[in-house]
Amino acid sequence: MRFSTERCARGFFRTFKRCLLVIGLLTVGLRVGSLTARAQTADVCPRPQVGSVVSEPVDLRSRDGVLEVTLIARNVKQSDGRVRYCFTDTGGHESPNLRVRPGDLVVIHLKNEMTDLDGTQAMAEHMHSSGSVQHTCTATVAMSLISTNLHFHGLTIPPACHQDDVLKTSIEPGDPPFTYRFRVPEDEPPGLYWYHPHIHGFSKPQVLGGASGALIVEGIERAKKEVSGLPERVLIIRDEDLMNPDAPPSKSEPVVPHFLIDRDGDAANNGTGFGKPAKDLSINYVPVPYPDYPPATIQMKPGERQLWRVLNASAITYLNLEVLFRRAPQPLGLVAMDGVPIGVPASQATQPQEPILWQTHLGIPPGARVEFIVNGPPAGETGLLVTRTVDTGPGGENDPNRMLAQIVASPDAPEPRSRLKSAPQPLPAPTELWLGDVAPVRVRHLYFSEKLADPNDPTSAVEFYLTVEGQTPKMFDMNSTTANIVAQQGTVEDWIIENRSQELHAFHIHQLHFLLLDYNGIPVKEDFLRDTVNVPYYNGRQLAYPSVRIRVDFRDPNIVGTFPYHCHLLEHEDKGMMGIIEVVRAASRLDQTSTRSASRGSSAAQ
């Protein structure tokens, strides 16, 4: 199928169905903290109980063209040692949905109230005007586990101070509130985006701890009339450290021949689709813990049609979603990918377009989003939302088959909080050519690779690289003053990205979207854009390294500036698998620096 370009391994489905028998069962060994510990943590980053009904995040909507909110970054250690992170509004609502419209002004006051939980975290040095609320983003900063900032993943907004800078912005505990102020572009595609901290070196623990939320640009019904009038549901799937790390696998699963641990202490891919996962998953914070995966509950009216907006806010976990009725996969009508409605605009299409891509499963890398139409189960039946196993390669983590939620059909099911307009005005025709019809000005080659810190010690740490061909592989350095790539605003480029490692990687670039042209040498005819894509792993026997070819769009003037591209498995990003691109306006400056950039990067980062 056209959408199935990510390589998802085929699980042992006939055995996986045995897992369905444990619906609603809770394991005796679920860890329960003491009453004292519960009391201490109840008011900081609270989370639902296992098996809870999935509730939706609170909606914060723009009014009169402005969305102004205050978010507070907090953290708390649980009795079992795991740490939660969260953003809350002034009403105490955790990870609220930020709902905006094209052209809206967004003002977010971010306050850091995190604490040094172990008493060992040195305070980061940072630069801001003494006694002033106006921080600067121009000096080198030291980031730590209790630093914070925000990245607005997928939005085409400037990578500038107080907008979407993640390279120099670091807000520390005790700092005055830091204000983000940006305008959603008038032509921003309507769909699902998200916000999360992007503190280099510490992104994984904060996102793994739950610090993330949805940002919705309203109006998808203006681009896809097929969803007009539908109720919509926002579902955020996050991963977290295992609640029951020492538990044996469920007896409903087959015996896994080998149990492997990677260098980070996570369960490694065993190639079977079963066994201990690297991380637990949750759905809107309702945990679905290993080993029995007691599912959360989604309530729907019998046969009701809804638009589901699903975000994979995991730090390292890939998803491969299916909806099952009586163990049979159900059709899912894909209408948007990574915030962008699918389909070439009618004014630009050279042949008839399918308004909806009907699929039976949807692969979602970490950081990616899918928006699709789903029909509820018939009266008297219960469906399942599951994620099937993903083959992450010999060096990857274990992402096995598991349940996420049971879908309960009930006439009394509450309606989702939001419903799309039933008679929307269509979006205006785009003014630019479809990206696939624009000739690239150049082709660049990049590659993922990994190396042991000590080649003579197989247990030593792994160094992660994302390298431009011709440059020397090295871990990303926040103090670097040169960009790895310089591109000119107004142009389009093709990038060929190879994977020279034995684990799956997810390529992501800030500020823009791209078009997937081919996957592992096979042309792909996609009519939608992405901001994150899997790059298949090298198995050690292929004659050529696996690769993807993407068409990267630098035409929007909002993206002038300096911003990163990286693997969206955040432990890889934190450990150096990242690079920097500078998008410049003037062709003359590009001409002056392009030769230098080809060999060693060019131009000072702003």
What is the chain's mean pLDDT, rounded? 86
The pLDDT value recorded for residue 260 is 67
Question: How large is the average pLDDT for residues 70-81?
Answer: 96
Tokens of 435: 């990206």
The pLDDT value recorded for residue 153 is 98
Instruction: Find out whether the peptide bond into 291 is cis, omega within 30 degrees of 0.
Output: yes
pLDDT tens digits along 368-384: 999 999 999 999 899 99
- Greater pLDDT, 439 or 143: 439
Radius of gyration of the chain (CA): 23
- Greater pLDDT, 244 or 453: 244
The pLDDT value recorded for residue 355 is 85
Percentage of residues in the chain having pLDDT higher than 90 = 73
pLDDT tens digits along 4-31: 433 333 333 334 444 443 333 333 333 3
What per-residue string of b and e applies to 109-144 under the rule 16 or more CB within 10 Å gives b? bbbbebeeeeeebeebebebeeeeeebebeeebebb
pLDDT greater than 80 at residue 123: no
**Is 435-604 in CATH node 3.40.50.360?**
no
Facing residues of 139 across strands? none
pLDDT greater than 70 at residue 555: yes
In angstroms, rounded to a whole number, what is the distance separating the alpha carbons of residues 369 and 338?
Answer: 5
pLDDT tens digits along 562-594: 999 999 999 999 999 999 999 999 664 444 444
pLDDT tens digits along 234-270: 999 999 999 999 999 888 888 776 666 666 667 888 8
Fold exhibited by the domain 13-29+224-419: Immunoglobulin-like (2.60.40)
Task: List the alpha helices (DSSP H) in 219-367.
Answer: 220-223
The full set of domain ranges for the chain reads 13-29+224-419, 435-604
pLDDT greater than 50 at residue 510: yes
pLDDT tens digits along 324-360: 999 999 999 999 999 999 987 655 655 666 789 999 9
- C-alpha distance from residue 22 to each of 10, 13, 19, 382 (Å): 22, 16, 6, 13
pLDDT tens digits along 266-305: 788 888 889 999 999 999 999 999 999 999 999 999 999 9
The pLDDT value recorded for residue 552 is 98
pLDDT tens digits along 141-183: 678 999 999 999 999 999 999 999 999 999 999 999 999 999 9
Question: How large is the average pLDDT for residues 483-509?
Answer: 97
Highest mean pLDDT among 31-35, 128-132, 324-328: 324-328
Domains 13-29+224-419 and 435-604 share a fold: yes
- C-alpha distance from residue 167 to each of 149, 176, 247, 489, 580 (Å): 10, 20, 40, 20, 9
Pairing state of beta strands 83-88 and 66-77? antiparallel
In angstroms, rounded to a whole number, what is the distance separating the alpha carbons of residues 606 and 595?
Answer: 20
The pLDDT value recorded for residue 14 is 39
CB 150 within 8 A of CB 195: yes
pLDDT greater than 50 at residue 410: yes
pLDDT greater than 90 at residue 596: no
